[in-house]
A and B are shown apart, each in its own frame.
Chain A
Amino acid sequence: MTNTDEGKLIAQVAQGNEAAFLAIYDRYASRVHGLTLHILGEDMLAEEATQDTFLKVWSRARDYLAERGPFLPWLLTIARRVALDRLRLEARRPLLSAANDPEDAWQFIPELESLSDESRWRSLYFAVQALHPDQRKVVELAYYQSMSQSEIAEVLGWPLGTVKTRLRSALEALRGVWNGT
């Protein structure tokens, strides 16, 4: 499916075309479910979050503007927010900051050419897995659990300075991988 085809499909979804919506679902359901499962860690909760994500796509498709960036990061930003909100409800986690809203995230979405390269995503995934376990742990809690550095320090029982150093080092390493690929 080309980006043009995808843009047409999303425009059709915005007009209430169910067949187009299901085509989008079939293409991206595994990506959304992969992310929600990673965040929530439980298949049933993850499926509910995946469902809520696509229901939001159905009702908010008209908000997506193709000229402002690719569809997948927009979709996954919604999925992350839905999953983290669900996590907060289940575990009394704090609300997401406004910076994680998909509308605010538009200006930070990378170029289409880089996003279309699946190998870069795989490289990043492997780079996360290759981090030192302590570094990976703080990235997981900060990004996929939406915890602040002081919350991570409390949960892991580590000094706040240690958490800051490990998170910064991990993100610097990942940035290097992303830019170098």
Chain B
Amino acid sequence: MTHDEHTPYLENIPAYAIGALDADEFAALESHLQTCASCRAELAEYRVLNQSLLTAVPPRQPSAALRKRLQSRLPSVQKTARPQWNWNWSFSRMAVGASLILLLVMNMYSILQTRALQQEQAQLNRQVRTGQTVMSMLSYPATERLSINSDKAVGSLLLDKERDIVALIVWNMPELPENETYQIWLIDPQGERVSAGIFSPESDQAYTTKVVYPKQRLVDFTGVGVTVEPAGGSEQPTGERLFKVDF
């Protein structure tokens, strides 16, 4: 390219650098710049000037109100990334956590309450079954009825030797501490005692009913006794006797 051919492009570079070139000349110079290194170097200098002119105006302080207005217009979504947002976020997490803990506690309370009701219902069922057994024994001709009459307890002992069932109905049994229990003993002719189970007095009524289904035949025994034993029972009587009834 001759100098004369190069000159028009070179002359247009300052206007091009600041975006003042008209469209047709703009396209022509763009095409020329693809192949002309010296024009690209010239353009680089003017582009520096283009950026420099940005600051070649006197600074001017905006009104104080603009700062406040700008603050109020910061998008709320991005504001949430500030530390204050983190606090809110943590607070929300704490609230959710507290709610979960509350739900858990309420759930556990509900489970415990259900379990207590189930235990109460099971106890009532036992009492009903025991009552029905006692009633059926009383109505059975072969049932023997013996009196319980000691200085510590009164009541009745029902004995069905055909079906090997013993029922105790004892009035006003003293309450025992948690570390003690009543234990029933079957007494054989030699005076040996065989455990027939442990029980506690009914706390909600004046009498206590206990039905025993011994593993051995009742005909092999000659008496029944009840003693106070450590919680869980003993292999042989160790405590105070409540009563003893001989068949």
Residues of chain A touching chain B, judged by Cβ–Cβ distance below 8 Å, are 15-18, 21-22, 25-26, 29-31, 33-35, 37-38, 46-47, 50-51, 54-55, 58-59, 72-73, 76-77, 79-80, 96-97, 99-100, 105, 108-110, 120-121, 124-125, 127-128, 139, 142-144, 146-150, 152, 164, 167-168, 171-172, 174-175, 178-179
Contact = CB atoms under 8 A, between A and B. Distances in A.
B78 interface: yes
Given A168-B15, A172-B14, A143 B53 contact: yes
A77 B44 contact: no
Contact of A167 (B14, B56, B70, B82): B14
Given A22-B71, A179-B45, A125 B18 contact: no
Interface in B161-187: none
**Interface on chain A toward B: helix, strand, loop, or mixed SS?**
helix
Contact of A29 (B17, B55, B67): B67
B51 A108 contact: yes
Contacts of B195: none
B82 A142 contact: no
Nearest to B80: A16
A10 to B, nearest CB: 15
Interface stretch (B58-66, B115-123, B145-153): B58-66
Given A171-B14, A178-B48, A30 B78 contact: no
A149 B20 contact: yes
Contact of A16 (B70, B73, B82): B82
Contacts of B14: 167-168, 171-172, 175
A105 B58 CA distance: 22
A25 B48 contact: no
B79 interface: yes
B46 interface: yes
Contacts of B60: 30, 33-34, 37, 46
Contacts of B191: none
Given A38-B57, A105-B51, A150-B22, A30 B62 contact: yes
Nearest to B63: A47
Nearest to A48: B66
A60 B79 CA distance: 14
Contacts of B53: 124, 128, 139, 143, 174
